[in-house]
Amino acid sequence: MPVPWDRLSRKRICFGHQSVGKNLIDGLMACAKGRLNIVESSDTETFRQPVFAHFQVGQNRDPLAKFEDFKTVMRSGVGELVDVAFFKLCYVDITAHTDVEHLFNMYRRMMDDLALRYPAITFLHVTVPLRRLENGVLQWIKTQWRGDEREYLSQVKRHAYNELLRTTYGPSGRLFDLAAEEATYPDGRVSIIRYQGRTIPTLVSDYTNDGGHLNEWAAERIAARLLACIGSIEEAVQDQ
């Protein structure tokens, strides 16, 4: 899907993120090559002109703080000015102990409230990024060495949360499936692991240098897909 640079360059876009989001911003800057006005800011004045503005939302390992921070930025005056707004959680925000349904219900309630308050904004939803995990003997060695299986249980919870996002927001077309992009090879194959009878996606090994963050090549590739997704949603909105 091509990136509609001209359309995007006329939009005011707000993106809240942390570490994997920073990878995406680096990828955006690499593929945009100056065709977008990309700045780090959540100040209202920033959005009085076309811009792709990003900011650090909340803090890692506290998803509810990210929800509150995003809501606060929208209510600061940014919500009256932007065309597109979204934020993402990080893989560290969902752990083996997360109550996925409760967290998702909190997210949906907040986003429903924002959508009612700011009907002119296109709110985009983003799946939670994944970790790189291994099958077979490597899995057994790592779990034995660590003494538990927290990383695998955490990935199960991330996948469950993402499935709720897909079911709820996928039909609207306003979903960027970051996790699916991370788990899909360039040839279309899906990177999976099998754990306790489940098949769950995992980050493609070639996309990461540390098992969680995107390398430069993957970040640029996925960032281009994000821009294409935003462009396609905005085209559909204009055609309504």
- Residue 11 tokens read as 């939009």
Closest CA to 126 of 2, 226, 45: 226
- β partners of residue 55: 16
The pTM (predicted TM-score) of the whole model is: 0.95
Tell me how far apart the alpha carbons of residues 124 and 32 are, in angstroms, rounded to a whole number: 20
Tell me how far apart the alpha carbons of residues 141 and 11 are, in angstroms, rounded to a whole number: 49
Number of alpha carbons in the 13 Å side-chain half-sphere of residue 226: 31
Which tens digits make up the pLDDT trace of 153-170? 999 999 999 999 999 999
Domain that holds residue 69: 5-239
CATH of the domain at 188: 3.40.50.1110
DSSP 8-state class, residue 201: E
DSSP 70-125: HHHHHHTTGGGT-SEEEE---GGGS-TT--HHHHHHHHHHHHHHHHHH-TTSEE-E
Tell me how far apart the alpha carbons of residues 85 and 125 are, in angstroms, rounded to a whole number: 9
Number of alpha carbons in the 13 Å side-chain half-sphere of residue 127: 30
pLDDT in tens, the chain (240 residues): 789 999 999 999 999 999 999 999 999 999 999 999 999 999 999 999 999 999 999 999 999 999 999 999 999 999 999 999 999 999 999 999 999 999 999 999 999 999 999 999 999 999 999 999 987 656 656 665 664 588 889 999 999 999 999 999 999 999 999 999 999 999 999 999 988 888 999 999 999 999 999 999 999 999 999 999 999 998 877 765
* Displacement of CA 149 from its chain's centroid (Å): 25
* 3-class secondary-structure state, position 183: helix
Q: In total, how many domains does the chain have?
A: 1
